[in-house]
Amino acid sequence: MHLFMQIDGYCKNIVDNENLINKIASFGFDIVECDGHNLADIQKAFETETVKPKCIIAHTIKGKELTFLLEQYENPLEYHCWPIPNDLLDKTLENIDDDAR
């Protein structure tokens, strides 16, 4: 089950995101979905030609591969939009691939 989040909470608690793709399409957009953790997939989404204006939905997982954050915080929202302690910040930066910076 995917728990969609935005900066201040779970989307289900803030706005109804049922049929999100259909809602966006109803505004006249073509929808292109991609893996938001895969640069090649993101690039492909940008290069995909559409007839209408394009909306890219990049599927991501907050804290992906930073398991120590999941161990420290019970709720991903705690490290998504609030400062984390310097020791965890240093550990996070060490885990980011140099190519991604």
- Mean pLDDT of all residues in 12-26: 81
> What ranges in the chain are assigned the alpha helix state H?
11-14, 20-25, 39-47, 67-72, 77-80, 86-95
Confidence of residue 1 (pLDDT cuts 50, 70, 90): very low
> Would residue 19 be called left, alpha or beta, if left means φ above 0 and alpha means ψ between -120 and 50 degrees?
left
Which residue do the tokens 């109803």 mark?
26
More confident residue, 89 or 26: 26
pTM for the whole thing?
0.66
| DSSP secondary structure letter of residue 8 | T
pLDDT tens digits for 48-100?
Answer: 999 999 999 998 877 777 767 666 666 666 666 667 778 877 877 777 765 45
